[in-house]
Each structure stands twice: as structure tokens, then as C-alpha cells.
Chains A and B, each alone.
Chain A
């Protein structure tokens, strides 16, 4: 009975994580389009939400677990998964509150690492895997995207710099709709899979699913797709504002170089079997497109804050994951601990969103114009 309740809580928490993943990462796909007025804010998040939903169905090759090769799989229990998810959700909410783009994948990995550490000690963590799958890609993604978008915008200005700005801006705004759509679709194929993987893993651990390579049930695919789409539609406006206009005021050509270049870097990396963080790549590309035009136009202090958030993501999510696991175990091995923590978190989220709703929309079409 207890294991059934824990399973239900883990599934609900995984979908809650999926929702935060959606609204946290909306900025990656739509911030530059909104900033350059290629798309109205509501249109941008609606388009992105639909494509995230569709993307979730394109590839159902579910990653068995996002922390595979980083945490000893034999030591993962449903409570560890639950605690890891809480770590990731809390970090996503904290960075959203401060308007800082950070990787939801890294938050999830950090949360699971922390919970596994609290459950089984240092033996649960595979250091080599952490270095190879997280640390190195985290350094490579922003640098490659920065250089690619920087070179892209310099060539773009050479090509169209002397033409009439009106049609040029219109042309790049149109291009941004295509690049935003591609990024949204790509996000759906990548990130909804994480949740499908987590729920599938929980179902296997519980004994509901069997076999060496179980396929996720249809309800898992639909619910993961719906949660990420709803999250995307909600729009993480604070992060959208940071990415779109607080780092620097971008023109449509810069928006296209950042978004199109970032998407090309991400998909090439995926093709080479070297998946990179969408957030790190797009943020690097945004910085590159700004710095190449004029170094002083970029608010480097804000860029520094984003870098600090990236460095803190894994340790902070790990700390919350470990703490959640510890608190949960105070109430024994049953469902009471996870239940109390889930209810507390739900109340915290409701309070945060209530405050957000009361203070009105962060970005409106009128304000943006």
C-alpha cells in the first residue's frame, strides 16, 4: 500500500518537475523572438507550447534515467527519485524567481546525486560520469555557442549591414519564427523524455513495468507532453525578460544569430552523440551575438550572475535532494514523509504563483512595444 502511494507521489512530482522544466526553459525558445517583436508574447508561448507537446511524441526513445552513469543505478529507489525531483524543482523555482536561466537537466542530476549520496554515501556517485557527462559539456556548450553566434552576427552584418533596415529587420523576424519553432520542437523531444524516463524508472522500481528495456505506457507519454506544454504556455517571464532584453537590447539579426546559431549547435551536438544543455547553448549564443557587435553593450555583471547560477546548480539541487531524503526518512520508510514534503512544496508553489498572478503579467505586448 505504502509503495503504491509513493509511486503516485513520484509520478505527480515528476509531472510537477516537467511543468517547471517547461516554464523555466520557455525563454530558450522564445525570449529573443519576443524581444525583437518577431512574435507577440502570448503567440510565442502558445506556439512553443504546441511544438513542445508535439515534440514529446516525435521520439519516445526514453532515456532510462537522466542520471544514468552518474549515480549507481542499483541504489536508486523511488524515495531517492522523489528527493532528486524535489531538489530539481526547488532549484528551478529559485532561479526562476531571480530570473536566471539555468539547466533543468543539471538540476535533476544534482538532485538525484544529492539524494543518492544521502541514501547510500559516496559510493553511490560515479565521479567519472559526473565529469564526462555534466562538467565537460557544461564548459563546452556556452563557449562553442558564443563563438558560433558571434561569428554568425559578424558575417550577417557584412552581408546586410548596408541595406535598408526595414525589410532586413522584417526578414530576420520571419527567420526567428522558424528558429524558435525548431528550438521548441527540439526541447519537447529532449526534455519531456526526461520525465517519461523518470516515471518509467519509478514504474519499473515499483514492479508495475517489467523487462530489460520497457517502453513507457501511453498515459506516461501524454501526461509528460501535457505537463511540459502547460509549463511552457505559463511562460517563465522573468527568465524571458533576462534572456531577451536585460543582457542587452538585441536587434532582429542578433536574435536570429543567437537562436538559429544556438539551434544549429544543439542539433549538431545531438547528432554527434554529445548532447548539450539547451539553456547553456542559447545563453552562450545570446552573449556571443551581443559581444560581437559591441562588447560594452553586454551587461557582463548579469552574465556573471548567470554563470554563478550554473556553477551552483548541481551543488544546490544536490543539497536540497539530500535534505529532502533526510527529512523524508525522519518519518520512516513509508509514504508519510514524501506525502508531507509534496504537500508543503505544493503550498509553496501555489503561494509563489499566487504572488505572481496578483502582481500582473511581467511582459505584455504593449509593454514590449
Chain B
């Protein structure tokens, strides 16, 4: 709570913060969706679909990891 309010930053916050939150929830949603569907597909013997679902889960995991790393960078770059 150390920086003075800036109208520009406030407006940016109003759209950027929910967008960041959505990126985090959607990326982890892809991980959960992809891994669950991949397990179901494997059980049903559809290996092609399972591979596709694993790829979706991996994409979600990469996005989520990037978001976490970005969060860590924000913490360390704080002034």
C-alpha cells in the first residue's frame, strides 16, 4: 500500500487484473480437462485422442507455469 493512486493505473487494473485471473484459471482448467479426458480416452483405447488431450494439458501446464514465473518475477522486481 505504498504507491499513490494513478487514474491510468487504476483503469488498467480494472481490466488487466481480471484478465490475469482468467488466464490462470483457464490455463489450469486446460490441465485438469486435458488430463481427465486423456485418462478416459486411454481407458477406452482411443490412443490418438488421448495424445491430443495430453497435448492440451501440457499447453495448459506451460501457460500456468509461465504465469507463476511471471508472478515470481513481479515479486523480485518490486521496488
Contact A186 B75 (CB under 8 A): yes
Stretch in contact with the other chain, from A2-10, A154-162, A233-241, A353-361: A154-162
> Complex: how many Å from CA A175 to CA B24?
10
> Complex: how many Å from CA A157 to CA B25?
11
Contact A175 B16 (CB under 8 A): no
Known: A186-B71, A267-B71. A275 touches B3 (CB 8 A): yes
Residues of A within 8 A of B68 (CB): 178, 182
Chain B residues packing against A (C-beta within 8 Å): 1-6, 9-10, 12-14, 16-18, 20-26, 28-33, 35-37, 39-40, 64, 67-68, 70-72, 74-76, 78-79
Known: A171-B32, A178-B68, A257-B25. A59 touches B78 (CB 8 A): yes
Interface of B is mostly: helix
Q: Which residue of A lies closest to B25 (CB)?
A: A152
**CB proximity of A104 to chain B, nearest CB, Å:** 10
Q: Which residue of A lies closest to B65 (CB)?
A: A178
Instruction: Tell whether A263 is near chain B: CB-to-CB under 8 Å.
Output: yes
Q: Interface size of A by Cβ–Cβ distance < 8 Å?
A: 64
Known: A256-B28, A263-B71, A269-B13. A159 touches B33 (CB 8 A): yes
Contact B4 A133 (CB under 8 A): yes
Residues of A within 8 A of B9 (CB): 272-274
Residues of B within 8 A of A178 (CB): 64, 68
User: Of A106, A167, A262, A264, which contacts B23 at CB under 8 A?
Assistant: A264
Contact B18 A105 (CB under 8 A): no
Contact B3 A168 (CB under 8 A): no
> Complex: how many Å from CA A352 to CA B28?
41
Contact B36 A148 (CB under 8 A): no
Residues of B within 8 A of A156 (CB): 25, 29
Q: Which residue of A lies closest to B2 (CB)?
A: A63
Q: Which residue of B lies closest to A137 (CB)?
A: B1
Contact B16 A275 (CB under 8 A): no
Residues of A within 8 A of B31 (CB): 171, 175
User: Of B1, B28, B75, which contacts A175 at CB under 8 A?
Assistant: B28
Known: A55-B75, A168-B36. A148 touches B22 (CB 8 A): yes
> Complex: how many Å from CA A164 to CA B2?
46
**Residues 157-184 (chain A) with a chain B CB within 8 angstroms:** 159-160, 163-164, 167-168, 171-172, 175, 178-179, 182
